[in-house]
Amino acid sequence: MPATTITPDDLTHIATFADLPTETLQWLLDHSEVRTFASGDTVLSPGDPAEFMVVVLAGGLQFFGIRNGNREPIFRVEKGHVSGVLPYSRLRIIQGLGVAVGHTELLLLHRDNFPALEQVSPELVQRLVGVMSDRARLEARAQERDDKLRALGKLSAGLAHELNNPAAAIMRAAEALDNRLRAKPGLLLELVRHCPEPNALADLAAMASNPPLNREPLSPLDRADREDELANWLEEQDVPDGYALAAGLLEAGLTLDTLKPLITALPAPSRPSALVWLEGQLTTLCLVRDVQEAGGRISTLVSNVKTYSHMDRAGDFSPLDVHAGLDSTVNILSYCMREEKVQLTRDYAPNLPLVKGQVSSLNQVWTNLLDNAIDAMSGGGEITLRTRQEGDFVLVSVIDNGPGIPPDVLPHILEPFYTTKPAGEGTGLGLDIALRIVEQHDGRLEVETEPGHTEFRVWLPAVK
């Protein structure tokens, strides 16, 4: 489509160019070009060289990130705003997809003209640098927010998996308890119908309430032999389906030597119902213990999340135990470590002093460092968490035995938005965020790497 003729007066309606001399605006028009696009046209594509400062005269530009083949909206540049490459920008390659919104007119100034522009209008260059600074701050905040959301998604998936196991165990135990408790009244009636001796009944009740605690550890073969022996004896007592009962009785620690004197004291007709009732009672106790253990596991996970998120305390700086933050982060990421077959070693210094900080922020540091270490060891490896006191600082080291960081990558890992992952699998390593958080805590972050040993060290001031 033919471009509209633009005059210096048209540029005065753009905030960045307001109050500039007409000569400056005319120079800008003389050294720029106007391009028009229909709605939906692709203006910029990932991988294109970043060459132009872009002034939106009409319409707008919607930028998308391409992740896993899908478009994800990132930001929009509306009419009257400046975007693209700006003076002193290090942007060289376009990362996102820019699409025209409605009929769009763009004024494009090639970056080769920036040195001349600085001579013509230092004031405009200063304004453009301010625009770039504002944009960098917004991008940094967006990256930090996205990093937190990605971490939350990963942690949520792991937490859901961890909660699913104990929750499923509770459901299975509840169903089994329901079945057994419904059968108990009938078994009790069958037992007392034969009028066993009170003393014999008391011994049976005592065994049901207090089974042996010292269970002999058995190999699978020995256990199978014991079950066969016990099942044969149960069938001799006219117990229906003795093999089903044998496993439950053996699991409770009962053997033939324990059961024979207990059962022979009862009238023969009551023995089958007595054994079924005893097995049901003992299995019920085991199921209750399973529910307690599963519930305890859920409570522990909730406590870990509470500690990790710091949701019961204010966001101010306060004295913190580094070990508590590390442990809660490890517990939250335990599912990821098991999935990647990563072993963890804790090498904690005793009597480590507290540090002053924000636990949720520091936990994000531990999360980013551990997450990157796990990613570096796809297929298995070992991570060591080490803490030491060094002078007035607490030193936290996250060490992995992965392949190490390549020499060409190492100088860039703390840069914003830098990533070693393929396109569509992330926007950065999160290390620049970790660095900012550590510096906000008056600490420092360093890395040392070689094949088989990568160590990130975080120094935090100790509370005196």
Q: What is the pLDDT of residues 262-278, one digit of tens each?
A: 888 888 888 888 888 88
- The boundaries of every CATH 3.30.565.10 domain in the chain are 315-461
Instruction: Give the chain's mean pLDDT.
Output: 82
In 3D, which of 280, 111, 296 has the Cα closest to residue 204?
280
Q: What is the pLDDT of residues 451-461, one digit of tens each?
A: 999 999 999 99
Contact 354, 320 (CB under 8 A): yes
Cβ contacts of residue 15 below 8 Å, gap of 6+?
Answer: 80, 81
Give the pLDDT mean for 227-236. 85
Contact 383, 344 (CB under 8 A): yes
> Pairing relation of β-strands 342-347 and 381-390?
parallel
Distances (CA, A) of 157 to 13, 173, 323, 366, 367: 49, 25, 24, 18, 15
Neighbours of 424 (CB within 10 A): 14
In 3D, which of 155, 170, 158, 173 has the Cα closest to residue 297?
170
**C-alpha to C-alpha distance for 367 and 372, rounded to whole angstroms:** 8
**Is it the case that residue 334 has pLDDT exceeding 70?**
yes
Domain 8-120: homologous superfamily in CATH: Jelly Rolls (2.60.120.10)
**C-alpha to C-alpha distance for 94 and 111, rounded to whole angstroms:** 14
**C-alpha to C-alpha distance for 406 and 242, rounded to whole angstroms:** 65
- The boundaries of every CATH 2.60.120.10 domain in the chain are 8-120
**C-alpha to C-alpha distance for 298 and 346, rounded to whole angstroms:** 23
Q: Identify the band that residue 66 occupies on the pLDDT scale cut at 50, 70 and 90.
A: confident
Domain 315-461: homologous superfamily in CATH: Histidine kinase-like ATPase, C-terminal domain (3.30.565.10)
Which range has the top average pLDDT, 43-57, 61-75, 81-95? 43-57
Q: Identify the band that residue 2 occupies on the pLDDT scale cut at 50, 70 and 90.
A: very low
- Residue 413: HSE in the Cβ half-sphere, 13 Å Cα cutoff: 20
Q: What is the pLDDT of residue 234?
A: 85
